[in-house]
């Protein structure tokens, strides 16, 4: 998946699950005052980089998976990973990705769009 598309997917998930992007926080370095955006979450996360849920299963499992309903991942036999989410209303969201985190993120994206 191209980095630009993965960044869009990560940002959708971050905003839907309580991450907030601050605007232009000042800091000083050797060249003077600089400004950067910072991503924060109430569960002890602060970074100048957007969380990479689609590329990092550890971050996904710490912040997002505990908020999901039922979920599962399996190899689909074709070198891909199949993910399934079941929301609180019982709607099923299936997706496939190259890695477990990406497959789950695709299923989350479907859930956010209500494409069960």
- For 25-64, what is each residue's pLDDT tens digit? 777 788 888 777 778 887 777 776 788 999 999 999 988 9
Q: How many domains does the chain have?
A: 1
Band (78; pLDDT cuts 50, 70, 90): confident
Instruction: Identify any residues that bridge with 92 across adjacent strands, giving them in sequence order.
Output: 86
Spatial distance between the Cα atoms of 6 and 55, rounded to a whole number of angstroms: 8
pTM: 0.83
Band (116; pLDDT cuts 50, 70, 90): low
Spatial distance between the Cα atoms of 48 and 22, rounded to a whole number of angstroms: 10
For residue 25, the enclosing domain spans 3-113
- CATH code of the domain containing 17: 3.30.2120.10
Q: Please check the confidence at residue 99 and state whether its pLDDT lies above 70.
A: yes
Spatial neighbors of 71 by CB under 8 A, at least 6 apart, are 65, 83, 84, 85, 86, 104, 107
**Lowest mean pLDDT segment, chosen from 16-25, 51-60, 77-86, 89-98:** 16-25
Q: Please check the confidence at residue 3 and state whether its pLDDT lies above 90.
A: no
């Amino acid at each position: 998946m191209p980095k630009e598309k993965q960044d869009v997917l990560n940002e959708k998930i971050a905003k839907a699950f309580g991450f907030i992007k601050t605007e232009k926080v000042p800091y000083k370095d050797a060249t003077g005052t600089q400004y950067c955006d910072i991503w924060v979450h109430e569960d002890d996360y602060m970074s100048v980089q957007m969380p990479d849920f689609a590329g990092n299963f550890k971050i996904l499992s710490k912040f997002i998976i505990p908020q999901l309903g039922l979920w599962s991942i399996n190899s689909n036999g074709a070198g891909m990973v199949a993910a399934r989410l079941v929301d609180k209303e019982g709607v099923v969201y299936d997706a496939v990705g190259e890695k477990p985190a990406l497959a789950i993120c695709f299923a989350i994206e479907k859930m956010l769009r209500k494409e069960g």
